[in-house]
Amino acid sequence: MQHCSTLSRLVRPLFAATVLTLAIPAQAAPVQAGGRAIAGAQAPNESPQGREHRAGIQALLDGSLPMAKTHFEASLKIDPQYAPASIGLASVAQSESKPAEAEQYLQRAERAAPQSPAVHLAWGRYYKSNKQADRAELSLLEARRVDPKAIPPLLELGDLYLRVGRAADALKLYRDAVFMDSTNQFAQYGLGVAAAANGQRDEALGAFGAAAKLAPRDPGPLHAAGLIHMETSAFEKAVAAFDKGLLRQPKSVPLMLDRANALAGQQRWSDALKQLERAEKLAPNAGQVQLKFADVYQGAKRWNEAESRYLRVIEMEPNNASAFNNLAWMTVARAGDPKMAVAWARKAVELSPGSSPFHDTLGWAFHSMGDLQGALESLQRAIKLEPKVAAYHFHLGVVQNELKQPVAARESLKLALVLDPKMPQADEAKSLLKSLL
């Protein structure tokens, strides 16, 4: 089976309380020992509009958009120039997928407080949600300039840079945020994600560990640490991290699925299937649960059961690219019908053309069918999308060798071994390389 990058799974939306911190006037913000605002607590001498605004933020945290809107509107009735309430209404509008309405509220907030860092932060979030990265960056940088000691602009900028592939810039920002406030759980989590994106796994694990201590009920940092361990095949450590996460959130299906994956990595097939049975009881109609069943059956070489589950996923979710991809990969692995493997792999690429593993699968399916030129082109696309995956270069080297391109084949095989000397195909790569010398 083929798996995609961990980074996209680690990046998650910032918690609303942290993002909205700048929208709470400093003189009206009760704080904890760590210096963070408490959304639901009333400050001494807080204004009536401030109380309504704070109640609106608490409603947002509770997931009640109508109640939040009611409180923010009440705040503006008391003081039509109260910018934090307009920012709150913009946040509600964004959550309701009403960008034009959100923009109107932000313009109102900016007219009321043109130099407010909270306004620039809100504009940055608005542009980011609308995939206007350049404008988002400018607004967030302005928020940081206006208030250099504020953490939220750093977190939002770091998140933006991760999403646009500027991992090194993100890492610097999150390190700055943690230096400014090491007790900020969101800064620690962001540092973990950015460090992982830069290949700094030890730093990532340390940051996720810190975030887990700072947020004792949140399974996210433990889940993230488990995924990092999975990348290095430290399956026992991954299982331990997922177990701790499940203690915090016993009914988390995503945690269960990754725990099953880690158990499968240890070839504990029976334990993995038992874990999936528990997940299936909680989410009987979830395609991802069925997909993971299929993956585990595939790993255990229970081909027919795996194929049945993959086909069930496709029936449930006709656009599930992973199901088509993994079905194709398994078909090649079990020496099945190469034409079907190519057809399924093509469908996966059609559904997700930016996925490097899917192009690799298609290339290997072409190889199984004897279409070496097709294999060459697909593998080159996979490498263009993700240049540092050892398996892709190994597959390319095999195909180049069969195309009678010994010089290119040697370079591909050497690079594969440099990228991952312990890859599963290492012995095969070394043997083939030796035959080409």
Q: How far apart are CA 204 and CA 194, in angstroms?
A: 8
- Half-sphere exposure at residue 175, Cβ-oriented, CA atoms within 13 angstroms: 13
Decide: 349 and 359 in contact? Cβ < 8 Å: yes
Alpha carbons within 13 A on the beta-carbon side of 166: 14
Please give the pLDDT value at position 40: 47
User: What's the pLDDT at 250?
Assistant: 97
Residue pair 403/370 in contact (Cβ under 8 Å)? The answer is no
Taking the C-alpha atoms of residue 321 and residue 347, their distance in angstroms, rounded to an integer, is: 7
What is the CA 425 to chain-centroid distance, rounded? 28
Say what the pLDDT of residue 45 is.
Answer: 74
24, 122 contact by CB (below 8 A): no
The single-letter DSSP state of residue 14 is P
State both tokens at 73: 């509107």
Sorted by where each starts, the structural domains of the chain and their CATH numbers stand as 1-164 (1.25.40.10), 251-318 (1.25.40.10)
Chain Cα centroid distance, residue 89: 27
Q: What is the dihedral of CA 142, 15, 231, 325, to 10 degrees?
A: -100
Quote the CA–CA distance of 129 and 431 in Å, as a whole number.
50
Q: What is the mean pLDDT of each run of 10 residues along the chain (437 residues)?
A: 57 49 43 39 75 92 93 96 94 92 95 94 93 96 94 95 95 97 96 95 97 96 96 94 97 96 96 97 95 95 96 96 96 95 98 96 97 98 96 97 96 96 94 91
> pTM surpassing 0.85?
no
pLDDT in tens, 354-404: 999 999 999 999 999 999 999 999 999 999 999 999 999 999 999 999 999
Q: What distance in Å separates the CA atoms of residue 388 and residue 386, rounded to the nearest whole number?
A: 6
Secondary structure (3-state) at 37? strand
CA distance 120 to 142: 6
Q: Residue 324's pLDDT is what?
A: 97
Spell out the residues 6+ positions from residue 319 whose beta carbon is closer than 8 angstroms to its own. 351
Q: Go through the chain and tell me how many residues it has.
A: 437
φ, ψ of residue 31 to 5 degrees: the values are: -125, 155
Cα separation, 321 vs 327, in Å, equals: 10
Angular region, 177: left φ>0, alpha ψ -120 to 50, beta rest = alpha
For residue 56, what is the enclosing H or E element?
helix 48-61
The pLDDT value given to residue 29: 40
At residue 91's C-alpha, the angle toward residues 142 and 154, to 5°, is 35
